[in-house]
Each structure stands twice: as structure tokens, then as C-alpha cells.
A and B are shown apart, each in its own frame.
Chain A
């Protein structure tokens, strides 16, 4: 059995639509990591 997380919520936002968790990874120097993590948030 493989473990699959659907729609990782580590980019959760607060009431002001600001990122509250996952912020460090989203703003990391690695744009691939930021794009991958935020796919559900800033989805293109």
C-alpha cells in the first residue's frame, strides 16, 4: 500500500488569506519546492 496525501494543506491560510503554515517552504530559495507546495494555493 502506498500512502497518498491528497491536497496537502501545509499551505493553510488565515482569515486574511495570509499563509500561516508552510510559509518558510513557500518562500524558500527553491522555486520548485515553492511551486510544488503551493500548487493548490496559487494554482496555475
Chain B
């Protein structure tokens, strides 16, 4: 498979092993960049010219996911890269584009299957350990997770790149924060991302804008040390400065820093290429674990990404 990474499609050929494959962009600058990398590229308003069943890597730099956009792609096999949910700046979009090509989707799916299997079979807590991280994660007996288990996408399917790059477990509701998982311990995060949901309202967007500034400041001062007790972030520090009040505010203070998402990274082969200064979704799964706060609607969704650690299941518990 390593051979395909020297080709214009790179790892995308794993997702679309046969047939025509196109990069579709909602923005001319990114389309020109994609074309310069050798991909067959179209703009969003040219999609109707594509043949049925075409493979599409859909890069949304300026648009958020909507029903209208989904309807345009019903005839195709779609890998979605929702750049606008993170950072629409051209350099961030180009960076995300490149990491999308360099992702090893087969290996990511291997990891997703590993986690589905082991979280089913292993009764004890999952421990992330090493390089400044010591997190103990326990799980409910009935669990829902989002992950894509096989590389190929069939016609009519619409799969977000994040479904490959992480095995994601989220809290069921704000009435049941620990209904899916519980976390205790310390984590050393190198990356911090801010995302927003297409349903974010005015108040939510105001918090999200504040979160973007906070993210830049914290990443510049990083790494970030997090302490968690019973699933709640009790401390988050960078360069000796405490940021928990600021993070609580931008992720919606009503949520009181409860962990919303436990994301297990499955795209670690990307790590040597990662630049943590970018607010890119492709950074999210490049570390072995990330913790998310806020849902991106009433406030920011902030992911703290641990770049390095090992894991084990604690059979003694």
C-alpha cells in the first residue's frame, strides 16, 4: 500500500480502490491547490457532471454540512472533510488536504476494529499511560461508538474523515454525563482543537470565537496538563497558568467541564507530519487519545489531543 502514497490520491485510493475519484471543493483557491497536487478536481457547483458512482473527497472550506449539500451527493461515494467546522484559513485548509492524502485509512480501520473488539471483550478499565499521561477510563456495559471499520465507501454513503481517524465515545446526555464512560487521572496534551456544529446559534458562536483565541494562546504555551476526576476537568494548565475557568466559559459553563467525548485516535501514523498549531480535524486522531468538552452548539467543542502514550487494559480491576 505504501506505493499509493506516492501517487496524487495517496491514501484516498484505499477508500476508493476502483473507479473515478475526484476532489470536490467549495472554494476555488483550495480547488487550484488540489489540482496542483495532481487530483482531478471540481467545484461544488460542477458536481452534476460527475459520473454515477464516482468517488468524491469533499472538502468543505467555506460551507458547513447541510441537507442541501448531502442531497447533491446521493449518487456518489463520499468522504467528507469538514474544514469549515474547524478553520477555514487557506493554509489550514491546504494542511488538512495534505494530511487527508497522507492518512493510512486501512491502518486506521485496523485500529477501529481492534478497539471494537477489545472494548467488547476486556472487562477491566482502559489505561492510557506514559509520557506524562496516566488516565484510567472505565466503560458502561452497553456502549455506543462512532467509527468506520472497513476502508471502502459504497455508492450513496457519506462518511466523515473523522469516522476513520478516531473511535469516538460520547456522553449520552447532560443528564447522564458518565453514562458511557468515566475518566480519572492526568493527561499531557500537545494539541487543542476548536470545532463548531452547523446548528450553533448566536450565543454559541460567540463562545466559539472566544474559544478560537483561547486555543491559539494555550497551544502556543503548551504542552497542556489536564487533571480529571470523575469525568470532570478539575485543572487545565499551560506554562504554569490555570485555564479551567476560561475553558469552562467557552464550552458552555452549564456543562461544568464534564467530559463529553472520549476519542481514541486511530491515525497515529500521521503523527510525524502533524503541526499542532493548526486547528485541523486531521490532528484529532493523530494522537492515541483525545478528550472533548462542549458540544459545538451552545459553545465550542474543544478537543485536547495527547500526542504520545501507550495503553493497556487493567485486568486486576
Residue total for B at the interface (Cβ-Cβ under 8 A): 47
A39's partner among B149, B170, B255 (CB-CB below 8 A) is B170
List of B residues within 8 angstroms of A5 by Cβ: 142-145
A43 to B146, CA, bound (A): 10
- Cβ-based interface call for B48 (8 A): no
Residue of chain B at shortest CB distance from A31: B297
Residues of A2-44 whose CB lies within 8 A of B: 2-8, 16-18, 30-36, 39-40, 42-44
- Say yes or no: B171 contacts A36, CB within 8 Å: yes
The answer on a CB contact under 8 Å between B297 and A6 is no
Contacts of B196 in A (CB 8 A): 44
Known: A32-B255, A34-B297, A42-B198. A7 touches B67 (CB 8 A): no
Q: A-facing mask of B159-171, CB < 8 A → 1, else 0?
A: 0101100001011
Q: A6-B147, A17-B70, A18-B67 are in contact. Are A39 and B120 (CB under 8 A)?
A: no
**Is A7's CB under 8 angstroms from B146's CB?**
yes
> B295 to A4, Cβ gap below 8 A?
no
Q: In the bound complex, do residue A36 and residue B170 qualify as a contact, i.e. CB atoms below 8 Å apart?
A: yes
- List B99-121 residues whose CB lies under 8 Å from chain A: 116, 119-121
B264 at the binding interface (Cβ < 8 Å): no
* Residue contact A43 to B172, C-beta cutoff 8 Å: no
Chain A residues with CB below 8 A from B199, complex form: 34, 42
Q: Which residues of B contact A35 (CB under 8 A)?
A: 170, 197, 260, 295-297, 301
CA A1 to CA B74, docked complex, whole Å: 38
A36→B298 CA distance, assembly (Å): 14
Closest Cβ of chain A to B170, distance in Å, is 4
Chain B 166-193, CB-CB to A under 8 Å as 1, else 0, gives 0010111111000000000000000000
Q: List 28 A-B contacts (CB under 8 A).
A: A1-B120, A2-B119, A2-B140, A2-B141, A3-B120, A4-B116, A4-B143, A4-B145, A5-B143, A6-B147, A7-B146, A7-B147, A16-B67, A16-B71, A17-B74, A18-B67, A30-B173, A30-B174, A32-B255, A34-B199, A34-B297, A35-B197, A36-B170, A36-B173, A40-B146, A40-B163, A42-B65, A43-B162
Residue of A nearest to B123 (CB): A2
Contacts of A16 in B (CB 8 A): 67, 71
Closest-CB distance, A3 to chain B (whole angstroms)? 5
> Measured between alpha carbons, how far is A32 from B201 in the docked complex, in Å?
14
By a CB distance below 8 angstroms, the chain A residues around B260 are 32, 35-36
Q: Which A residues are CB-close (under 8 A) to B39? A: none
Seed contacts A8-B144, A44-B82, A44-B197; 13 additional CB < 8 Å A-B pairs: A2-B120, A3-B142, A4-B116, A5-B142, A6-B116, A32-B173, A36-B170, A36-B172, A39-B146, A42-B197, A43-B82, A43-B160, A44-B296
Q: How far is the CA of A31 from the CA of B121 in the complex (A)?
A: 31
**Smallest CB-CB separation from B255: which chain A residue?**
A32
Closest B residue to A27 by beta carbon equals: B199
Give the docked Cα–Cα distance between A3 and B123 (Å).
Answer: 11
**Which of chain B's residues have a CB closer than 8 A to the CB of A31?**
174, 295, 297-298
The 4 lowest CB-CB distance pairs between A and B, nearest first, are A35-B295, A33-B173, A43-B160, A36-B170
A17 touching B121, Cβ below 8 Å: no
Check B195 for interface membership: any CB of A closer than 8 A: yes
Determine the residue in chain B with the shortest Cβ distance to A35: B295
Contact with A along B119-149 (1 / 0, CB 8 A): 1110100000000000000011111111111
